[in-house]
Chain A
Amino acid sequence: MSNLSNSASIEANRSGRLRDSLVDWVGDWGGVTIDAFSAIGEMALFAWSTLYWLMSRRPRRGTLLPILYQVGVLSLPVVALTGTFIGMVLAVQSFFQFQQLRMETRLGAVINMTLARELGPVLAATMLAGRVGSAMAAELGTMRVTEQIDALSSMGTNPVHYLVVPRFLAFVLLIPALTVMAVFMGVVGGYFYSVMILGIDKHHYLYNTREFVGSWDLFYGLAKSIFFGIATAIVSCYQGFNCTAGAEGVGKAATAAFVHSFVLILLLDLMLGISLDAIYFTLWPEGSSLF
């Protein structure tokens, strides 16, 4: 009898533990899901507030110009340099496969199309997120921690209008220019490596480029870059504005600004790629092919 009751209590204990761990598991995942949704909601409200202030009043010239300089002019060298290397790396990586098919002159089309549609915009956006986005999150985060953002509000200046709108505008206006720079330098780098070092025929390289890479491809890259700019600016400013106290909080905000921007850039890249292809094949059903 006592054996029976013992085994029954062990069974009851086991099922109790199982129930507890199941409850914990559901609770943990529930907490994570609620946090994720509330963060997305807060970011959406932050983006809405930015748009509202963007539409209601233009930022002053004095606040906009230094940020345009910081985002555009100071980012040009690093974007140009990385663009050049990416163009050359594409030539190095694709040459062997295309040579085996005796189609090495098609490298012009492959390298330049990849640059215009994909690597140029992604590279410019990544560089901007790393160079300017995280610095911006750290700057705004320090302002939050040292009550400078509260000081702006207390003096009747809306911090979103004064701090976020100029940064948002600088990103959206200048990211296409930086993308053009990344693509151009990539094209130059790819051409230099393919023609000067790998010895591919110059005429056919350029002919294939002209044949397969058109204005749609450039538009495709520039259109994507604007979305990347919007996402990076909003994410970076949001992280700065919601920075937690202390040096650790500022560090976390800077890291989160880059990581979240980068993930969002790649996610948007996929979504926009699918959408823009759908638009393209609706407009031109015969499409175009490399072969």
Chain B
Amino acid sequence: MMTALPPTQEQLDRPLIQVRDLSVRFGQQEVLRNINLSIPRGQSLVVIGESGCGKTVLLKTLIRLIAPTRGSVHFDGQDLAELSEKELTSQRIRCGYVFQNAALFDSMTVGQNVSFPLRQHTNMSDREILDRVRARLAEVGLPDSVMKKKPAELSGGMRKRVGLARALIMEPELILYDEPTTGLDPIMSDVINELMMRTRRNYSVTSIIVSHDMRTVRRVADRVVMICPVPRLQPEEPQMIFDGPPSELERCADRRVAQFVRGEAGERLMELRGSAAMSA
């Protein structure tokens, strides 16, 4: 493996991710509109918003799994659009992505899943790979016996933890979590929240977490960004309707933010009543 040079002060001061005027459109549907975001190293940012507002699309655009229609994403100062496929690959190794449903390869065992990036990108021996896989699985609280199992044999919480172990195996600088606690019981959600905090502490990583779970926001976030679905915005209104520390969420003057934080449907109930009246 290549020995990386220690980063200069200028590199450390530079935001790890810089998003400028980002817009994503699928056919006629505008999902993201003029998003501007700067994420410094080591920050734990939680992106909240109702389902379908474009949170996952934003997360995927950050490592160019989705190409933006307009605007740019700079990762560590480099515009991802200007990188060749091979350069993009080497940048992606610096990131770990925990998918909503873990996205484990169902034809492989848990051990093969977690060791996959090591086998693809390093020349480590089988012994070293096995040791590292065991260590990562232990960190997420899974026993060695799970290594021989197929993902279909695991519960939702275990799959999420295997997904996290796989994302951590290359010791990334940035971890992206896509709805890490969705579909889990409250206890397992708490375990995942704790794991995210420990990961941040142990690896000093930058974390971007997409969630609509307010417990995650309160436990993990340094900074919260709330985005609103484009169809619910005024023509020139910015899509990011909140950007600040979690303590300010409660005090935010925007009614949509307050409703989201308190879990109130508000005018949506009027829409439901309207459709009920129409059907009657």
Contacts and interface: CB of A to CB of B under 8 A. Distances in A.
A148 B121 contact: no
Interface string A134-149: 0000000001001110
B90 A156 contact: yes
B100 to A, nearest CB: 7
B11 interface: no
A156 B60 CA distance: 14
Interface string A144-183: 0011101101111110000000000000000000000000
B105 interface: yes
A158 B103 contact: no
Interface stretch (B69-77, B91-99, B262-270): B91-99
B89 A151 contact: no
B65 A155 contact: no
A148 B105 contact: yes
Contacts of B63: 153-154
A147 B92 contact: no
B21 interface: no
Contact of B99 (A147, A156, A157, A158): A147
Contacts of B260: none
B92 A155 contact: yes
Given A151-B97, A153-B65, A146 B103 contact: yes
Contacts of A150: 60, 65, 97, 99, 103
A153 B67 CA distance: 13
Contacts of B176: 154
A148 B166 CA distance: 13
Contacts of A143: 105
B123 interface: no
Given A153-B65, A154-B65, A148 B89 contact: no
B131 to A, nearest CB: 20
Interface string B110-150: 00000011001100000000000000000000000000000
B100 A147 contact: yes
A201 to B, nearest CB: 55
A158 B89 contact: yes
B199 interface: no
A153 B88 CA distance: 10
B101 interface: yes
B105 A151 contact: yes
Nearest to B91: A156
B106 interface: yes
Contact of A155 (B85, B100, B120): B120
Nearest to B94: A156
B92 A153 contact: yes
A155 B65 CA distance: 11
A156 B85 contact: no
A102 to B, nearest CB: 60
Nearest to B105: A148
B101 A156 contact: no
A154 B92 contact: yes
A241 to B, nearest CB: 13
A152 to B, nearest CB: 8
Contacts of B117: 155-157
A100 B100 CA distance: 71
Contacts of B90: 156
A156 B120 contact: yes
A156 B89 contact: yes
Contact of B93 (A146, A147, A156, A158): A156
B97 A154 contact: yes
Contacts of B105: 143, 148, 151
Contacts of A151: 97, 99, 103-105
23 contacts: A147-B99, A147-B101, A147-B103, A148-B104, A148-B106, A150-B97, A150-B99, A150-B103, A151-B97, A151-B99, A151-B104, A151-B105, A153-B65, A154-B63, A155-B93, A155-B116, A156-B89, A156-B90, A156-B92, A156-B120, A156-B121, A157-B89, A157-B116
Q: Which 8 A-B pairs have the closest CB atoms?
A: A154-B97, A151-B103, A147-B103, A156-B93, A156-B92, A156-B89, A155-B117, A147-B99
Interface of B: 60, 63, 65, 85, 89-90, 92-93, 95-97, 99-101, 103-106, 116-117, 120-121, 166, 170, 176
Interface of A: 143, 146-148, 150-151, 153-158
Given A146-B101, A146-B106, A158-B85, 20 more contacts: A143-B105, A147-B101, A147-B103, A150-B65, A150-B97, A151-B103, A151-B105, A153-B92, A154-B65, A154-B92, A154-B95, A154-B97, A154-B176, A155-B116, A155-B120, A155-B166, A156-B89, A156-B121, A157-B117, A158-B89
